[in-house]
């Protein structure tokens, strides 16, 4: 079979090409021809098609994502913003922290174990590529109904994959979420977050500059992984002695990744690289075009030097391969020998595959023939942009009008009724203990985990001497966002912000994973537009810039999209991790205060879902100034030792927060419903901007004074006491009963 070289493309301008099969639109193909002044070669077509895909180019979403830059709050903390592999934030003492949340939804549905595993692998390499040592991971997960047969297939595989890969890398898994909702049936959301730490001077960027510098590909060998799409091309140019079907699934090798991490960190320590990029989606196509595009522009690659696992691969396939555990570095010629030596020390395969040139083209050779000759910016950064039409869905008004009023949904009116609903909510898979899942993750490795699963945020120490630490919380509520995407996105941010503050850390920055249905559906596009607008507006008010993240579209089966699910991660810093605030009520006699205001807000609530299987009305209102004030109080109270426990109020409301804090601490609570408050609303409303805290008696005066002075409503609602939750005048429920309802739920469904 003849090779489709640049020369060949020039000589056969009218050869038919499978651009449609590769997912390109007619005008996109025409644009490629216009850029090149000829038809693309097969390899070029493969590169453009994958780099201009929704996944790589953000062509539907970028007009909306722009707002994160346009409305960016002033922040001294941002060292590297959107556009790099991950944002970097200054946390003081010369340390910088990088973090990012990303989706691996579709692969995890096809092959749950490997999909979830390689999701961890990818995000960890993103963090590593910034120059940081990865120090923790978290996984926000969403599945179909807990009792659906397919959840039994998908969930255990995904959890085992996350554990199998993350545990083997030696990264503590310190938090995340697990949510069940039938809207995710067939479209589970597997988001993965990684945090990395470095010194300011260690920040690395993905750019190739300096003519003559070498391009080194290192890590795993390149095989036919994840090039399913490009096999359309392959089938044209290949004989049939090769494997008929290229795998769409990539298999991860966490051991290789662990070696890659240690090897790369040693290379950073010796300052051997000028620029670095990990290989993820679109593999070498993406890495070479992005490195060249962000640098001076010129690069020459010789594909024959790529170390292959499968010698039958064509140049197109080598360029597209998504084989895991690979990185690409730009290295000055006199440092190449030492670079290769360190790779050898760690048993990591490394090859010089090309060099930076002083031209402006990315040129790729195969068997001495030029097969790619493109301006790299047109591949990596100047892909198409769509202004997708969007419109408020016709059903939105009816959904919002269906409010969960007392007339619409029967509310419990007796103490026994309240107790029964409290147990139902606490025992629903969404609110129940997730220990069956989280106990499959190593939370101890590296010895710096201060807060993890079951806490409001995950917190790690980053300096043994000074006790400087960072914390991260991820939150999202698709039910809220379905009712009102603008507010829903803001509520996700508000909750993550509150969770970080509840642990005692100061929120600094945001990463987001925006999980939505098809952008070709104007309803979905409206949800996306509203959610991004809401999130950008809220980030501006809270002073927490979006540093990066990821968009996952097409999460739908047929016409039915998932709930719009913006997942928001907030990173915070804490000067002294020994001052952290856990959620557990651990001291008898401490006073319980409810901070914030409680209104009758049950739209999208856990109660409406669990007890009535209802979704309608409006989500809780957002008051970002109040969130900021609450955060300030929680942080100050933690720093000054005024509170010993704090728990944010979110799904399930105060009732659920009390259940969790009591069970975690092994102590009950005597609770008094404040005068004039409806006991049901008191226990189950999900009004935002609230937390419950445990105050030592000796600190009560000081704590009250602070809240009064700052204008934050603080209501004394009871005391830590006994071995039951006793809501006076209403009902009493023992910790044993609560534990019975709250634990063992997930394993009963899945084990």
Partner 1 sequence: MTTRVGVVTFPGSLDDRDAQRAVRLAGAEPVSLWHRDEDLHQVDAVVLPGGFSYGDYLRCGAISRFSPVMTTIIEQAKLGMPVLGICNGFQVLCESHLLPGALTRNDSLHFACRDQKLRIENAGTAWTRDYSAGQEIVVPLKNGEGRFVADAHVLDELEAEGRVVARYLDVNPNGSYRDIAGITNAAGNVVGLMPHPEHAVEPLTGPTTEGLGFFTSVLKQLVNA
Partner 2 sequence: MARVVVDVMLKPEILDPQGQAVQRALPRLGFTGIADVRQGKRFELELEGPVDDAALARIREAAETFLANTVIEDFTVRVEEAAK
**Residue 186 interacts with partner 2 (CB under 8 A): yes or no:** no
Is residue 491 a contact partner of residue 688, using CB atoms and an 8 Å limit?
yes
> DSSP readout, 513-582?
EEE-S-TTSHHHHHHHHHHHHHHHHHHHHHT--EEEEEEE---EETTEEPPPEEEEEEEEEES-GGG---
Residue 710 interface partner, choices partner 1, partner 2, none, CB cut-off 5-8 Å depending on type: none
Q: Kindly state whether residue 461 participates in binding partner 1, applying the rule CB under 8 A.
A: yes
Q: Which of partner 2, partner 1, none binds 454 (CB below 5-8 Å, type-dependent)?
A: none
> Minimal CA–CA distance to 643: which of 654, 630, 656?
630
The residue from 185, 293, 321, 449 that contacts partner 1 (CB under 8 A) is: 449
Q: Say which entry of partner 1, partner 2, none residue 170 contacts (CB below 5 to 8 A, set by partner kind).
A: partner 1
Pick the binder of partner 2 from 57, 105, 288, 323 (CB under 8 A): 323
User: Could you say whether residue 113 binds partner 1 (CB under 8 A)?
Assistant: no
What tokens appear for 93 in the block? 């003492």
Q: Measured from the CB atom, is 243 or 641 closer to partner 2?
A: 243
Residue 464: contacted member of partner 2, partner 1, none (CB under 5 to 8 Å, by partner type): partner 1
Return the structure tokens found at 644: 């010993």
Instruction: Work out whether 537 is an interface residue with partner 2 (CB under 8 A).
Output: no
Site for partner 2 in 363-382 (CB under 8 A): none
Rounded Cα gap, residues 86 and 83, in angstroms: 7
250 binds partner 2 (CB under 8 A): yes
By the 8 A CB rule, do 216 and 351 touch?
yes
Q: Does 251 bind partner 2 (CB under 8 A)?
A: yes
- Catalytic residue of the set 104, 148, 614, 742: 104
DSSP assignment of 318-352 equals HHH---SSEEEEEE-GGGHHHHHHHHHHTT-EEEE
In angstroms, rounded to a whole number, what is the distance separating the alpha carbons of residues 581 and 570? 17
- Residue 254 lies near partner 1 (rule: CB under 8 A): yes
- Residue 118 or 264: which CB sits closer to partner 2? 118
Q: Does 253 bind partner 1 (CB under 8 A)?
A: yes
User: What are the φ and ψ backbone dihedral angles of 540, each rounded to 5 degrees?
Assistant: -65, -45
Residue ranges in 279-308 that form contacts with partner 1 under rule CB under 8 A: none
Measured CA to CA, the distance from residue 407 to residue 107 in angstroms comes to: 44
CB under 5 to 8 A by kind: which of partner 2, partner 1, none does 12 bind?
none
Query: What does 182 bind: partner 2, partner 1, none (CB cut-off 5 to 8 Å by kind)?
Result: none
Q: Report the residue from 249, 308, 352, 672 that binds partner 2 according to the rule CB under 8 A.
A: 249
CA distance 295 to 579: 44
Asked whether position 229 contacts partner 2 by CB under 8 A, the answer is no
Ramachandran bin of 121, using left for φ above 0, alpha for ψ from -120 to 50, beta for the remaining angles: alpha
Instruction: For partner 1, give the closer residue by CB, 448 or 598.
Output: 448
Q: Does 44 bind partner 1 (CB under 8 A)?
A: no
Number of residues that bind partner 2 (CB under 8 A): 22
Partner touching 441 among partner 1, partner 2, none, CB below 5 to 8 Å by kind: partner 1
Stretch that binds partner 1, among 117-125, 249-257, 325-333, 673-681 (CB under 8 A): 249-257
310 binding partner 2? (CB under 8 A) = yes
- The Cα-based distances of 247 to 43, 110, 219, 229, 720 in angstroms read 19, 12, 20, 10, 57
Give the span between the Cα atoms of 661 and 669, in whole angstroms.
10
Give me the long-range contacts of 243-251 (CB less than 8 A, separation at least 24).
243/312, 246/317, 248/110, 249/107, 249/110, 249/111, 249/114, 249/115, 249/225, 250/107, 250/114, 250/118, 250/225, 250/226, 250/322, 250/323, 250/324, 251/114, 251/118, 251/225, 251/324
Give the range of 242-250, 273-281, 495-503, 648-656 binding partner 2 by CB under 8 A.
242-250
CA 118 – CA 427 distance, rounded (Å): 32
Binding mask 399-438 toward partner 1 (x if CB under 8 A, else -) reads: ---------------------------------------x
The smaller minimum CB distance to partner 2, of residues 351 and 467, is found at: 351
Structural contact between residues 616 and 654, judged by C-beta atoms closer than 8 angstroms: no
Q: Which two tokens stand for residue 342?
A: 């360190």
How deeply is 621 buried, as exposed, middle or buried, from its count of CB atoms within 10 A (0-12, 13-18, 19+)? middle
Binding at 225: pick from partner 2, partner 1, none (beta carbon under 5-8 Å per type): partner 2
Residue 111 in contact with partner 2, rule: CB under 8 A: yes
The verdict on 344 binding partner 1 (CB under 8 A) reads no
CA distance 546 to 414: 46
Beta bridge partners of 299: 356, 362
Instruction: List the x/- string, 149-168, binding to partner 1 by CB under 8 A.
Output: -----------x--xx--xx
| Residue 317 binding target from partner 1, partner 2, none, CB below 5 to 8 Å by type | none
In the complex, least distance from residue 155 CB atom to partner 2, rounded to whole angstroms: 16
Region from 199-207, 301-309, 441-449, 530-538 binding partner 1, contact rule CB under 8 A: 441-449
Q: Which of residues 464-523 bind partner 2 (CB under 8 A)?
A: none
Give the one residue of 235, 237, 400, 440 binding partner 1; rule: CB under 8 A.
Answer: 440
Window of 200-208, 246-254, 370-378, 524-532 that interacts with partner 2 by CB under 8 A: 246-254
Q: Is 463 in the site for partner 1 (CB under 8 A)?
A: no
Q: Which does 450 bind (CB under 5 to 8 A by kind): partner 1, partner 2, none?
A: partner 1
Which tokens hold the place of 260? 């890659």
Number of chain residues interacting with partner 1 (CB under 8 A): 32
Give the DSSP letter of residue 478. Answer: H
Residue 345 vs 710, nearer CB to partner 1: 345
Q: Which of 37, 447, 558, 676 binds partner 1 (CB under 8 A)?
A: 447
H/E element holding 694?
strand 691-695
The reply to whether 104 belongs to the active site is yes
Residue 243's binding partner out of partner 2, partner 1, none, with CB under 5 to 8 Å set by partner kind: partner 2
Residue 42 structure tokens: 């097969």
Return the DSSP state at 713: -
* Residue pointed to by tokens 């790529």: 306
Q: State how far the Cα of 704 lies from the Cα of 717, in Å rounded to an integer.
A: 13
669 vs 658: CA distance, rounded Å: 8
Question: SS3 letters for 218-261?
Answer: EECCECCCCCCCCHHHHHHHCCCCCCCCCCCCCCCCHHHHHHHH
Tokens of 623: 């008051």
Residues between 548 and 567 that touch partner 1 (CB under 8 A): none
Nearer to partner 1, 452 or 490 (CB): 452
- Can residue 314 be called a binding residue for partner 2 (CB under 8 A)? no
Helix or strand holding residue 371 (H, E): strand 369-374
CA distance 728 to 118: 51
Q: Which does 740 bind (CB under 5 to 8 A by kind): partner 1, partner 2, none?
A: none
Given the complex with partner 1, which of 166 and 375 has the nearer CB atom?
166
- Interface stretch with partner 2, choices 219-227, 281-289, 600-608, 724-732 (CB under 8 A): 219-227
Catalytic positions, please?
55, 104
Binding site for partner 2 (CB under 8 A): 110-111, 114, 220, 223-225, 243, 246-247, 249-253, 255-256, 309-310, 323-324, 347
Positions touching partner 1 (CB under 8 A) are 160, 163-164, 167-170, 253-256, 258-259, 346-347, 438-450, 461, 464, 577-578
């Amino acid at each position: 079979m003849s090779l489709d070289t640049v020369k060949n493309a020039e000589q056969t301008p009218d050869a038919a090409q499978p651009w449609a099969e590769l997912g390109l639109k007619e005008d996109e193909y025409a644009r490629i021809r216009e850029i090149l002044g000829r038809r693309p070669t097969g390899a070029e077509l493969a590169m453009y098609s994958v780099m201009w895909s929704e996944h790589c180019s953000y062509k539907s979403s970028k007009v909306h994502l722009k707002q994160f830059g346009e409305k960016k709050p002033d922040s001294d903390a941002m060292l590297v913003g959107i556009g790099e592999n991950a944002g970097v934030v200054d946390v003081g003492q010369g340390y910088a922290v990088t973090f990012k949340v990303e989706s691996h939804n579709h692969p995890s549905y096809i092959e749950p174990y490997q999909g979830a595993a390689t999701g961890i692998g990818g995000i960890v390499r993103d963090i590593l590529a910034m120059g940081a040592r990865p120090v923790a991971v978290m996984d926000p997960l969403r599945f179909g109904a807990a009792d659906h047969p397919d959840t039994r297939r998908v969930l255990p595989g995904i959890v085992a994959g996350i554990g199998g890969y993350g545990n083997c890398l030696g990264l503590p898994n310190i938090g995340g979420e697990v949510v069940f909702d039938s809207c995710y049936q067939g479209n589970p959301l597997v988001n993965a977050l990684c945090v990395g730490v470095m010194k300011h001077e260690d920040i690395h960027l993905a750019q190739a500059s300096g003519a003559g510098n070498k391009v080194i590909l290192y890590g795993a060998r390149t095989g036919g992984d994840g090039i399913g799409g490009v096999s359309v091309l392959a089938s044209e140019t290949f004989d049939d002695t090769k494997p008929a079907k290229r795998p769409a699934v990539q298999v991860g090798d966490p051991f290789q990744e662990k070696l890659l991490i240690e090897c790369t960190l040693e290379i950073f320590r010796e300052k051997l690289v000028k620029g670095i990029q990990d290989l993820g989606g679109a593999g070498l196509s993406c890495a070479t075009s992005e490195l060249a595009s962000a640098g001076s522009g010129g690069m020459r690659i010789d594909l024959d030097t790529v170390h292959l696992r499968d010698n039958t691969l064509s140049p197109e396939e080598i360029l597209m391969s998504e084989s895991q555990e690979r990185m690409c570095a730009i290295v000055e010629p006199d440092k190449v020998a030492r670079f290769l030596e360190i790779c050898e020390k760690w048993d990591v395969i490394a090859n010089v595959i090309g060099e930076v040139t002083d031209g402006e083209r990315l040129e790729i050779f195969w068997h001495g023939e030029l097969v790619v000759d493109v301006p790299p910016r047109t591949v990596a950064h100047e892909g198409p942009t769509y202004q997708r039409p969007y419109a408020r869905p016709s059903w939105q008004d009816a959904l919002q009008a269906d409010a969960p009023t007392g007339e619409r949904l029967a509310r419990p009116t007796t103490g026994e009724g309240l107790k029964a609903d409290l147990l139902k909510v606490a025992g629903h898979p969404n609110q129940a203990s997730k220990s069956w899942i989280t106990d499959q993750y190593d939370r101890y490795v590296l010895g710096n985990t201060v807060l993890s699963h079951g806490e409001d945020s995950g917190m790690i120490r980053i300096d043994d001497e000074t006790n400087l630490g960072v914390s991260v919380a991820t939150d999202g509520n698709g039910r809220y966002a379905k009712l009102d995407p603008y507010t829903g996105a803001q509520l996700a941010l508000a909750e993550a912000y509150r969770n970080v503050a509840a642990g005692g850390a100061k929120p600094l920055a945001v990463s987001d994973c925006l999980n939505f249905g098809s952008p070709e559906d104007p309803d979905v596009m409206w949800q996306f537009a509203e959610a991004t607008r809401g999130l950008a507006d809220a980030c501006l008010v809270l002073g927490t810039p979006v540093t990066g993240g990821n968009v996952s579209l097409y999460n739908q089966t047929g016409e039915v999209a998932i709930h719009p699910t913006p997942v928001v991660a907030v990173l915070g810093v804490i000067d002294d991790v020994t001052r952290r605030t856990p959620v557990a009520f651990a001291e008898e006699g401490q006073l319980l205060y409810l901070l914030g205001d409680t209104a009758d807000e049950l739209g999208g609530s856990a109660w409406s879902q669990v007890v009535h299987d209802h979704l309608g009305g409006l989500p809780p209102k957002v008051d970002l100034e109040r969130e900021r004030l609450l955060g300030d109080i929680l942080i100050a109270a933690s720093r000054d030792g005024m509170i010993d426990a704090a728990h944010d109020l979110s799904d399930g409301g105060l009732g659920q927060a009390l259940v969790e804090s009591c069970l975690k601490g092994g102590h009950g609570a005597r609770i008094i419903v404040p005068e004039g408050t409806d006991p049901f609303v008191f226990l189950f409303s999900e009004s935002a901007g609230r937390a419950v805290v445990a105050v030592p008696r000796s600190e009560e005066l000081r704590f009250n004074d602070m809240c009064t002075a700052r204008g934050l409503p603080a209501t004394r609602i009871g005391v830590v006491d006994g071995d039951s939750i006793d809501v006076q005048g209403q009902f009493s429920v023992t910790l044993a009963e609560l534990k019975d309802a709250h634990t063992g739920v997930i394993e009963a469904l899945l084990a």
